[in-house]
Amino acid sequence: MNSATFLQLQANPATEHPFLEELIRQFRLQDEQGIYQHWSNEELLQSLVRGVNDSDPSLTQLGILAFYQAICKEVEKETGKLLQTFINYTHKGLGSVVICCGYLLVMTESFPKHNHFADHSLDSLILKAEEVICYAMRRISKFF
């Protein structure tokens, strides 16, 4: 199986939202070792919806990376500006994310425990992403 196969999305009502499509694409791109290549798109999305103790830390970290990378890609599509994501995890489970556009700090967020990142539903995940995307686009349009 080649890498192009992984990037193709099946027509499915659960993945019809543009952000979810990009999120799945980022999951597949960031899974460099192919650990989750046999997982369906729904299983990948459910890893971000589950409770605190349901997923393993490496999958949670991959989900966090994919989430913020997908946000960056959506903002890049709208603004044409290149964004960079910096994510840091500590050994105690603390984490933070910084998104920059050139020298502009677009967004920063801290999470006390990265294993608490999961949302209650896909709708709340989409809502959170849309809020961050709107905020980032306002910041970028204000300074560029």
Closest CA to 28 of 76, 62, 64, 72: 62
CA distance 37 to 101: 31
Torsions phi, psi of 46, nearest 5? -65, -25
CA distance 56 to 59: 6
Amino acid at the residue 73 = K
> Residue 71: what pLDDT?
97
Rounded to two decimals, the pTM is 0.84
pLDDT digits 0-9 by tens, 3-37: 444 444 444 555 689 999 999 999 999 999 999 98
Domains along the chain? Answer: 3-143 (1.10.3100.20)
pLDDT digits 0-9 by tens, 89-144: 888 878 899 999 999 999 999 987 765 676 778 888 899 999 999 999 999 999 98
